[in-house]
């Protein structure tokens, strides 16, 4: 999987990264439901997603180790512990981890730093309260609508 160039990550080239195996499976099931259902019903993958992914799509599935989390400090922000991840087989695992760590650092700096989520939630709450204070549009009764048409 390659991220497009991203100024936030300090790069102008495509970067290798990993994706959640579960999200990849859900997206595949949603986008290609007929083919996905056929594969499942035919029993081609015996309840295990990742062997099929390895063979059909050329992906490598893995779980980050405690050592990976120790070496890449913010990795936990982007990937859950024991989460099965996938990347292209040809991609260098260290580069993938580095990019995932960069995404995690960016998330930490931009979204998770003190107050950012609170401000976002406050803005959404204020918008919802302002919307609730507005008079709701109501469809005119049939009699009124018929009178206006006549």
pLDDT in tens, 14-55: 778 888 888 888 888 888 888 888 877 777 666 677 777 777
**What values do phi and psi take at 13, rounded to 5?**
-115, 160
Tell me what pLDDT residue 45 has. 67
> What is the domain count for the chain?
1
Tell me what pLDDT residue 64 has. 92
Q: In this model, does residue 6 exceed pLDDT 60?
A: no
CA-CA distance, 77 to 65, in Å (whole number)?
A: 15
CA-CA distance, 40 to 43, in Å (whole number)?
A: 5
Residues 55-108 have pLDDT tens digits of: 777 888 889 999 998 988 888 888 888 888 988 889 999 899 989 998 888 877
| Domain presence at residue 124 | no
| Domain presence at residue 16 | yes
| Domain presence at residue 78 | yes
CA-CA distance, 100 to 87, in Å (whole number)?
A: 11
Kindly give, in sequence order, each residue whose CB lies less than 8 Å from that of residue 69, ignoring residues fewer than 6 positions away.
75, 76, 81
State pTM to two decimals: 0.59
CA-CA distance, 99 to 92, in Å (whole number)?
A: 11
Tell me what pLDDT residue 46 has. 64
Residues 100-130 have pLDDT tens digits of: 998 888 877 777 666 666 777 788 888 888 8
Q: Which domain holds residue 38?
A: 2-110
| Domain presence at residue 42 | yes
| Domain presence at residue 31 | yes
| Domain presence at residue 116 | no
Tell me what pLDDT residue 65 has. 92
| Domain presence at residue 102 | yes
| Domain presence at residue 93 | yes
């Amino acid at each position: 999987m390659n991220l497009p160039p991203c100024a936030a990550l300090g790069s102008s080239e495509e970067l290798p990264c990993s994706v959640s195996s579960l999200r990849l499976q859900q997206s595949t099931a949603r986008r290609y439901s007929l083919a996905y259902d056929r594969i499942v019903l035919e029993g081609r993958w015996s309840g295990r997603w990742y062997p099929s992914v390895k063979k059909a799509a050329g992906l490598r599935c893995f779980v980050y180790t405690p050592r990976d989390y120790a070496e890449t400090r913010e990795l936990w922000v982007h990937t859950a512990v024991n989460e099965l991840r996938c990347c292209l087989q040809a991609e260098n695992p260290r580069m993938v981890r580095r990019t995932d760590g960069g995404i995690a650092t960016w998330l930490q700096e931009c979204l998770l730093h003190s107050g950012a989520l609170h401000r976002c939630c406050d803005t959404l709450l204020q918008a919802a309260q302002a919307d609730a204070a507005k008079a709701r549009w109501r469809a005119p009764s049939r009699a009124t609508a018929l009178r206006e048409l006549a």
